Amino acid sequence: MVSAKKKLFDQLAAIRRLSPEALHELEIRLVFQRLPEGTHLLRAGETEERIYYIARGLVRGYCHDEEKEVTTWLAEEGYYVYSSSGFLLNKPSNESIEVLERAELFYITRQDLDYLHHRFQEFNHLSRRILQHRIIIQEDRLRLLRQSKAEKRVEQFRKQFPELWKRVQNQYIASYLRIDPATLSRLLRKR
């Protein structure tokens, strides 16, 4: 856990160096969790109270579209995960968040993060940069989905996310790319 926390703090420092007092206040508010595969951090309809940092493991966000699960994002170590509508707007989430691999996570509650934003200006900068990063990731996904051919989407995903390609089950990759799992299997056999 100590090395995972150091990695988190190093990542934050790369964005914005925090004062010793701000670091201390963050550290006492962080909660560490080890969770098994299949655990839901959030289910659609619930209000998100936490933002998570993935120290180890894989996590996905998904929603339902006409009785099918659609993977909306995939995240690995070093990423922050939360429901945008739930955490940012304090509304019931339209997506669920599920652990895909045994995970080690840190989280902070919305209330504690609001306190840190109010007390330390540097947390506003950090949060803005983390949010900007998430927006860029979503734009990349939309660009990927605009590829008309399934083969192009699969190849682009493989190039853009090589670690996820190796670790994520094909059914979730197919869902993320908005293609049928059988189509993905057929494309993989062609390779």
Paired with 74 in beta bridges are 60
CA distances from residue 61 to 9, 71, 94, 116, 167 in whole angstroms, order as listed = 25, 6, 10, 26, 16
pLDDT above 80 for 99: yes
DSSP 94: S
Express each pLDDT in 146-164 by its tens digit.
877 888 889 989 998 999 9
Would you place residue 21 in the very low, low, confident or very high pLDDT band (cuts 50, 70, 90)?
A: very high
pLDDT above 80 for 45: yes
pLDDT above 90 for 133: no
Would you place residue 191 in the very low, low, confident or very high pLDDT band (cuts 50, 70, 90)?
A: low
Cβ–Cβ < 8 Å for 16, 125: yes
Amino acid symbol at 157 = F
Average pLDDT over residues 116-143: 90
At 85 the pLDDT is: 83
Please, what is the average pLDDT of the chain? 91
**0.85 exceeded by the pTM?**
yes
pLDDT above 90 for 84: no
